[in-house]
Amino acid sequence: MYHNLRGFKYLYRKQEKNRGRITIAKSNSDEVNPPEFKPLDDGVSPRAPCKVIFPFLSSPPFSVLGVDMRIADNKKVHNTGRFKNSNLIVRRNKEFIIDIRFNRPFNKMQDNVEVEFLIGGSPNENRGTYIIVSFGKDIGEMIWKCRVLNTQGNDVTVGITPDPSCIVGRFRTFVAVVSGLGKQRTPKNPDTDVYVLFNAWDPADQVYLSKESDRQEYVLNDVGVIYNGEFNNMSSRPWNYGQFEEGVLDACLLVLDAGKVPLVYRGNATEVVRQGSALMNSQDDDGVLVGNWSGDYSIGTSPTAWTGSTEILLKYAREGGVPVCFAQCWGFAGVLNTFLRCLGIPARVITNYCSAHDNTGNLKTDIMLDEDGKVNKSRTRDSVWNYHCWNEVYMTRPDLPQKFSGWQVVDCTPQETSDGLYRCGPTSVSAIKDGELSYPFDAKFVFAELNSDVIYHQIDKYGKTKILHVDTAYVGKLIVTKRINSNQYEDITSNYKYPEGSKSDKQSMQMAESRGVPLRDYEPPAEAGVDIQLQADTVKMGEDFKLTMYIKNQSSKRCTIDATITGSVVFYTGVTSTTIKQETRKATVEAWKTEKLLIDIRATEYMPHLVEQSNLLFVVKGSIEETGASLTTMRVVTLRTPELTIRVSGSPRVGKAFTVIVEFRNPYNFALENVQFRLDSPGLIKTKFKSYKEILPGGVMQYTESITPLNPGKRVLIAGLDCARLRQPSPHPPE
Amino acid sequence: MYHNLRGFKYLYRKQEKNRGRITIAKSNSDEVNPPEFKPLDDGVSPRAPCKVIFPFLSSPPFSVLGVDMRIADNKKVHNTGRFKNSNLIVRRNKEFIIDIRFNRPFNKMQDNVEVEFLIGGSPNENRGTYIIVSFGKDIGEMIWKCRVLNTQGNDVTVGITPDPSCIVGRFRTFVAVVSGLGKQRTPKNPDTDVYVLFNAWDPADQVYLSKESDRQEYVLNDVGVIYNGEFNNMSSRPWNYGQFEEGVLDACLLVLDAGKVPLVYRGNATEVVRQGSALMNSQDDDGVLVGNWSGDYSIGTSPTAWTGSTEILLKYAREGGVPVCFAQCWGFAGVLNTFLRCLGIPARVITNYCSAHDNTGNLKTDIMLDEDGKVNKSRTRDSVWNYHCWNEVYMTRPDLPQKFSGWQVVDCTPQETSDGLYRCGPTSVSAIKDGELSYPFDAKFVFAELNSDVIYHQIDKYGKTKILHVDTAYVGKLIVTKRINSNQYEDITSNYKYPEGSKSDKQSMQMAESRGVPLRDYEPPAEAGVDIQLQADTVKMGEDFKLTMYIKNQSSKRCTIDATITGSVVFYTGVTSTTIKQETRKATVEAWKTEKLLIDIRATEYMPHLVEQSNLLFVVKGSIEETGASLTTMRVVTLRTPELTIRVSGSPRVGKAFTVIVEFRNPYNFALENVQFRLDSPGLIKTKFKSYKEILPGGVMQYTESITPLNPGKRVLIAGLDCARLRQPSPHPPE
């Protein structure tokens, strides 16, 4: 009967009727407005708008001639002056002032005036989508506040205060005069639309921040730094958040509409943050960015090429909600940060170094080594990301016990589905620290990213496994964010973790266990009495370097070590690629002494095999001849790509052109082809592109741009370079 | 550039590659098996299966000739004997016994044997999708237990015990002999596949129930009763859960596969229950049933026509995961109950009378009345369902503090999205009772269904509203479920609620407020001193009846009451349809007295307007002349449709035919057209259908079926009737 299944599916979709059910509004851009004139006896009149003539009135009825939203003044006091948007933008629970001009003086003993704010396609007072405030003779109950501040001639100045938990979005404004005949409204006018945002300045708002310096950074700063690299060799990437750029606020509201987030939830910061984390990735819901870790970015923009969020959000909006290609974690975190700051939610980007990606939430990251010391790719299913970026938002959590308010983790990189969709959080940072993992959302997943144990297993020739070594300190090594009013990082590890091995740390692990995290049920092998470590200095891509292996004998007996060092290329996600080197070493270490072995790594060994982001993983698998005890460790080495330099000639002044020079030297002995530069500066220019077909070995590219600032203020220049060969030098292995 | 957006979308979907990422298995029906022979040095050999010849061996190598799963014996002790399924079905953490026949006697000092259980397309030991147990010389670590129970000749009897939290589903079984050359496995054989289920008999299982009588009802009973109607005039509907019927277990696993539930989550009852609640409805994920409250069921089966779950689940499976049309709440709850009991999770169907459907979770159900007393349909956005069915499951909640284990609410009727998908729960019943609403999942929504206040508002001619009356006791009146070993109901209201107004009730409400439920911030009007109530006896559809209004004067002064009684047709969801009656009454009531007014309702008034399930809503809006105080109440009257009778001739015995007579009389003065009967009995017959083109007024239909029982045991016969005219007598209003 149903041969054409696809057709049938559409058919039943259409048939999902709800005559006995109620539907709810899910779009800010839908619009249903009340009629300009609504007679009193509404029950029996036709519902269509109608013009009414008043033939029996001797003088024209009291009516509204105009409304002035006083945009510039209001924006100044609402901290929204930097938005490149011609409409009024206000924050919740703070009064804004409008002027209404009537056709005669307003008489408060006689006249009834209502100001209405409507959002979405089915405005309803019980849902917060239809707000009515009134002044004059007959004042009803009001959720938003309203007061007359001044009357002068035919003009009335009115102060209106949105309630502290009202819906965030774009409201349409109407002014209505209510008489014995009915309501006469002003016609629809998009110029009087008002955007309402979260208010970090107001103690009654869910996102209140008490310090002005925090608000300046976490709500108003439109540039930032995202940290990457590895924990003891950090790199960083500037990022243009650009939340005030033209079109960005509308794009953020479009994201919510595209994600069908019910309007009634949009006053709840917890809900907006959770939905935001789902909607920044394209999975499930055609969100903003398509994740891609394949190395092949030919049909879109490489994840490493972006310099900021503006270009991404505007492209998404311009194309009507088609996901933008491509991103990896920092891109996701950067765009989510823009979305949050734009709507007024305090937010920052976090980097967690050595972030476990635990597929099952069992707090174990299993690294399976073959007998020869190589990582067994088919049996190693967990990975430790060299770094992983997520966001924090600052808010109270009225749904949770009070102590869990404050910074919350939110992560939009599509790692795991959380409760069916790709998203993660918000989850309280302090709850993570204390192992209180029962509370929503996704506390267990974040806890595992920070606290998993790395377990090295050996697989024998029969396929049987045994545990070689357990490293409880490898994961969640360092957690950082940009410092306020600085480009340096701030170490916030202690927000997330008690010191390894401390009493509080143990209590936190116990609490986590009582909340369903599986016990550490494996038997760690006896302590070997010998500790091994790998180290390397900063390494430039394309150069030879030395890896140092320290062997620390912490016992009272001399020992002899056999060790195999295996080097492989690794994605930043911790998944290994080609093996580039394997070397066996033997060393004898006296009691209480430390030996140092140097391993030479040549550029010719690793250059042909690199994947993007240029990381090498070295694993040591060794044993002590005297006792047979196992020794294992691993270390990621990040290869630095050549840097861009930006210089500015002259001191920039408003209305006066200055010159920016972006310079790059190709340090390699091969030519770089199809090199694209981006130059970006929020508030100053839109992203500028420049392409070069080829930069020869040793060649220098110098790109000059002339810029004329139109507004005063501190500005940041961000330049980026994208070149497939620097991401993945050939020969690229076929797939 | 991207003109063809649809094409582009598919393109980028294809491009979402994960070379640097790890993917996880989400289907039980996918299959990847190890090769029959795996040589030792696996690292360098090709991965394809290969046959190896052993030219240098003087005698054939030790090998497996056959495996006997001892299906009947094992099923008996595992309480799975009633499943109509030819494979072995066991429960977790209970030993099952298999016989392995070798080509020579087994030597435990020399031989190595492994039994492997695999599930899904990427079996992995660290994920619980590849289980290895071994016996003989070289025993590795094992998660499932294994012991040799007996050896006799070439046969070895082995006992195997799945671990108490293992994945639930269908595993493939292999027996492998491990020698110095490699592993030699038995070939793939679907007859040795084994289903593993949750185990309510075992204290270590998450779903353990301590009483045998509970397990008999909540896991093993395959028929039940679902209550409906209204709280003081309850009806019921028998339901064939049929969890043991042929194909049902496979259909339940298909539901999990179709919903892409990762295999690693399928040992976690919390996760299986939550996913189950999302997957029973077609929304989001093409789940089992399409919800339809429209009255138009022409392209499918009417929600009222089903007699059980079997037909629905088998149709869903047969058509490869195409949602089945149509269901309302009891159908959803019935099918979810089958799914849960089938997988071994204790479950029961609950009915909550006067169940609030609160769109915003603000604990208020706003009923907006026009000045004339009619419910204002466009401004009333909340509704109270006459009854609503959900499920409870019994399990520990290792993710929550211990006190929240026990019965959990789970609801698969698509009411509201929970965290992005249509689903609800599991949420702890005891947490709901105590107002502990922070814990997952969806506690707030369930709390509102049970505890919302009904607020009657009056809308004046200007559109302004005022509160007439607040009823804190209307919602969540009575919560019932089928009693164990009986068809009577059990009142379980006290599991969910403290007595209205008690100290514990107040504490619970306070706790709920501190967990983010909004305060009751409205001003209830002063007590009127007069109480009104509506009552009606059992009413048969098609007959005239009387409604009684009691006016109880609880003051020391005589009072005069003006009251408007409005009757309208109402869906069981509480949404009102046509107004059928409006009558104004005046009454004078002496101090401390009660007056009784009778209102006549004639069949000719309501019959032309009925919608399915035949409910009428009467709303009284009155006032006291002396004080101006408002009085409001409402009452749903359920109209009973004519009943079917079932008679059995002779006493049924195995192997002997008996006769079932289903009888129906048309009591109306109009003919019933296209009447369909269903006769159902789990374990006895598959659903049988019989159609009649017409049953004349007063006509009697008698339908006879001859049945021969094949197995002993108590059986239940369920008959159902479906006729569009009984759901919605014409003239049906056009839409």
Q: Which amino acid is at A84?
A: K
Q: Name the β-bridge partners of B570.
A: B576, B615
- Asked, for residue A525, whether it belongs to a domain, the answer is no
pLDDT band, very low/low/confident/very high, at B31 (cuts 50, 70, 90): confident
Contacts of A8 in chain B (CB under 8 A): 322
Note the pLDDT of residue A589: 94
Which chain A residue is nearest to residue B272, measuring alpha carbons?
A: A419
Q: Which residues of B touch A286 (CB under 8 A)?
A: 9
Query: Which chain A positions have a beta carbon within 8 Å of B444's beta carbon?
Result: 399
Whether residue A596 sits in one domain with residue A509: no
pLDDT at B623 over 50: yes
Interface probe with A: pick from B263, B438, B454, most Cβ of A within 10 Å = B438
Condensed to tens digits (0 to 9), the pLDDT of residues A486-540 reads: 989 999 999 999 998 899 999 999 999 999 887 676 666 777 788 898 988 778 8
Residue A359 pLDDT greater than 70, yes or no: no
Cα–Cα dist A332/A213, whole Å: 26
Going by C-alpha positions, the residue among A269, A276, A274 that lies closest to residue A206 is A269
Same domain, A609 and A714: no
To 5 degrees, how large is the angle CA B128–CA B133–CA B137?
Answer: 150
pLDDT of residue A85: 97
Q: Range with the lowest mean pLDDT among A27-41, A154-168, A587-601, B721-735? A: B721-735
Residues A569 and A663 grouped into a single domain: no
Partner-chain contact A18 B293, CB within 8 Å: yes
Catalytic residue among A411, A442, A453, A680: A411
User: What is the average pLDDT value for chain B, to the nearest integer?
Assistant: 86
pLDDT at B57 over 60: no
CATH of residue A719: 2.60.40.10
pTM of the predicted structure, to 2 decimals: 0.85
Q: Best mutation site among A26, A292, A423, A511 for testing chain B: the one with the most B CBs within 10 Å? A: A292
Give how far A318 is from chain B: nearest CA, Å: 11
> How far does the CA of residue A550 sit from the closest CA of chain B (Å)?
30
Provide the 10 A C-beta neighbour count for residue A173.
23
Same domain, B277 and B331: yes
**For chain A, how many structural domains are there in total?**
4
pLDDT at A501: 87
Q: Work out the average pLDDT over B124-138.
A: 89
Q: How many whole angstroms separate alpha carbon B85 and alpha carbon B75? A: 11
Q: Are residues B244 and B339 in the same domain?
A: yes
A58 pLDDT band, cuts 50/70/90, is low
The reported pLDDT for the residue numbered A1 is 30
Q: Is B64 helix (H, G, I), strand (E, B) or coil?
A: strand
Q: What is the pLDDT of residue B640?
A: 81
pLDDT over threshold 80, residue B11: no
Same structural domain for residues B325 and B420? yes
The pLDDT value recorded for residue B248 is: 97
| Position B524 in a domain | no
Looking at residue A8, its pLDDT comes to 33
Q: Do A294 and B438 touch (CB under 8 A)?
A: no
pLDDT above 80: residue B135: yes
pLDDT confidence of residue B608: 81
Q: What would the 3-class secondary structure string for B610-669 be?
A: CCCCCEEEEEEEEEECCCCCEEEEEEEEEEECCCCEEEEECCCECCECEEEEEEEECCCC
Residue B1 pLDDT > 80: no
Residues in A closer than 8 angstroms to B271, CB to CB, are none
Q: Are B102 and B60 in contact (CB under 8 A)?
A: no
In a domain, B429, yes or no: yes
Is residue B711's pLDDT more than 70? yes
Task: Supply the Cα-derived Rg of chain A in whole angstroms.
Answer: 31
pLDDT bin (cut points 50, 70, 90) of residue A138 is confident
A44, A302, A381, A466: best mutation site toward chain B, by most B Cβ within 10 Å? A381
Mean pLDDT value of segment A314-343: 96
Kindly report which listed range (A702-706, B23-27, B366-370, B638-642) carries the lowest average pLDDT score: B23-27
Q: Which of A364, A461, A575 sits opposite B41 (nearest CB)?
A: A461
Residue B273 has pLDDT above 90, yes or no: yes
Evaluate whether residue B23 is within a structural domain.
Answer: no
B380 and B503 both lie in a single domain: yes
Q: Do B299 and A421 touch (CB under 8 A)?
A: no
Given A514, A545, A564, the domain boundary residue is A514
| Closest residue of chain A to B17, computed from CA coordinates | A294
Across the interface, whether the CB atoms of B325 and A15 are under 8 A apart is answered: yes
Joined tokens for residue B344: 């071994």
- The residue among B197, B225, B252 that closes a domain is B197
What is the per-residue pLDDT for A358?
Answer: 67
Say if A203 falls within a structural domain: no
CB atoms within 10 A of CB B387: 27
Instruction: Tell me what pLDDT residue A539 has.
Output: 84
Q: Which residues in chain A have Cβ-Cβ distances shorter than 8 Å to B400?
A: 438, 515-516
Domain of residue B140 covers 31-197
pLDDT at B164 over 80: yes
Q: Decide if pLDDT at A149 tops 70.
A: yes
Phi, psi of A264 (to 5 degrees): -60, -25
Measured in angstroms, the CA of A290 and the nearest CA of chain B are apart by: 7
Residue B26 domain-assigned? no
C-alpha distance from A624 to closest chain B C-alpha (Å) = 24
At B50 the pLDDT is: 39
Q: For residue B13, what pLDDT band results from cuts at 50, 70 and 90?
A: very low
For B643-653, the pLDDT digits (tens) are 888 888 877 88
Q: Please, are residues B585 and B549 in contact by the beta-carbon 8 Å criterion? A: yes
ipTM confidence score: 0.77
Please compute the mean of the pLDDT values over residues B393-418 and round it to a whole number. 90
Q: Quote the distance between the C-alpha of residue B303 and its chain's center.
A: 14
B186: pLDDT confidence band, cut at 50, 70 and 90?
A: very high
Write down the pLDDT at residue B418. 62
Cα–Cα distance, A284 to A305 (Å, whole number): 25
In the structure, how many helices (H) and strands (E) does chain B have? 13, 40
Mean pLDDT of B382-403: 92
Q: Are B615 and B570 in contact (CB under 8 A)?
A: yes
Contact A438 B399 (CB under 8 A): yes
What pLDDT, on a 0 to 100 scale, did the predictor assign at position A573? 76
Q: What is the pLDDT of residue B734?
A: 26
pLDDT at residue B731 greater than cutoff 60: no
Q: Assess whether B499 and B617 both reside in one domain.
A: no
Strand B417-418 relative to strand B421-422: parallel, antiparallel, unpaired? antiparallel
The answer on pLDDT for B212 being more than 50 is yes
Does B360 sit within 8 Å of A264, measured CB to CB?
A: yes
Question: Which chain A residues are within 8 Å of B572, Cβ to Cβ?
Answer: 20
pLDDT digits (tens, 9 = 90+) for A285-303: 789 999 888 778 888 998 9
**B246, B182: one domain:** no
Q: Give pLDDT tens digits for B524-571.
A: 677 778 889 898 877 888 889 999 999 999 989 999 999 999 999 887
Does the structure show a pLDDT above 60 at B517? yes
Cβ contact, residue pair A381, B11, below 8 Å: no
Considering the domain boundaries, does residue B422 fall inside one? yes
Domain shared by A622 and A652, yes or no: no
In this predicted structure, the answer to whether residue A54 has a pLDDT above a threshold of 60 is no
- Chain A residues in contact with B293 by the CB 8 A cut-off are 17-21
A699, two tokens: 């060649």
More confident residue, A313 or A368: A313
8 Å CB contact of B282 and A382: no
Mean pLDDT of chain A: 86
Q: Are residues A254 and A378 located together in one domain of the fold? A: yes
Q: How many CB atoms lie within 10 A of CB B69?
A: 21
Cβ within 8 Å, pair A5-B178: no
- What is the per-residue pLDDT across B448-464, written as a single tens digit (0 to 9) for each? 999 998 988 888 777 77
Distance CA B432, CA B509 (A): 10
Least confident of A136-150, B266-280, B566-580: B566-580
Higher per-residue confidence, A65 vs B519: A65
Nearest CA in chain A to B286: A9
C-beta atoms of B611 and A20 within 8 A? yes
User: Residue A57: its pLDDT value, please?
Assistant: 53
pLDDT of residue A645: 86
A329 is catalytic: yes
Greater model confidence, B213 or A14: B213
Query: Which position among B111, B205, B358, B388 bears the catalytic label?
Result: B388
- pLDDT at A719 (0 to 100): 86
CB distance B270 to A444 below 8 Å: no
pLDDT at res. B416:
66
Is the per-residue pLDDT at B359 higher than 80? no
- Nearest-Cα distance to chain B for A42, in Å, is 7
Query: What confidence score (pLDDT) does residue B12 get?
Result: 35
B485: nearest Cα among B118, B178, B224: B224
**Greatest alpha-carbon span in chain B:** 113
The Cα of A3 is separated from the nearest Cα of chain B by a number of Å equal to 9
Lowest mean pLDDT among A231-245, B177-191, B598-612: B598-612
Q: What CA–CA distance (Å, rounded) separates B512 from B563?
A: 36
Note the residue count of chain B: 735
Residue A238, pLDDT > 70, answer yes
Q: What is the pLDDT of residue B516?
A: 85
Looking at the domain assignment, is residue B731 inside a domain? no
Q: Which residues of A touch B140 (CB under 8 A)?
A: 464-465
C-alpha A249/C-alpha A612 separation (Å) is 33
Of A197, A231, A260, which residue constitutes the final position of a domain? A197
Q: pLDDT tens for residues A263-274?
A: 989 999 999 999
8 Å CB contact of A19 and B735: yes
Both A73 and A134 in one domain: the answer is: yes
Instruction: Read off the CATH number of the domain in which B320 is found.
Output: 3.90.260.10
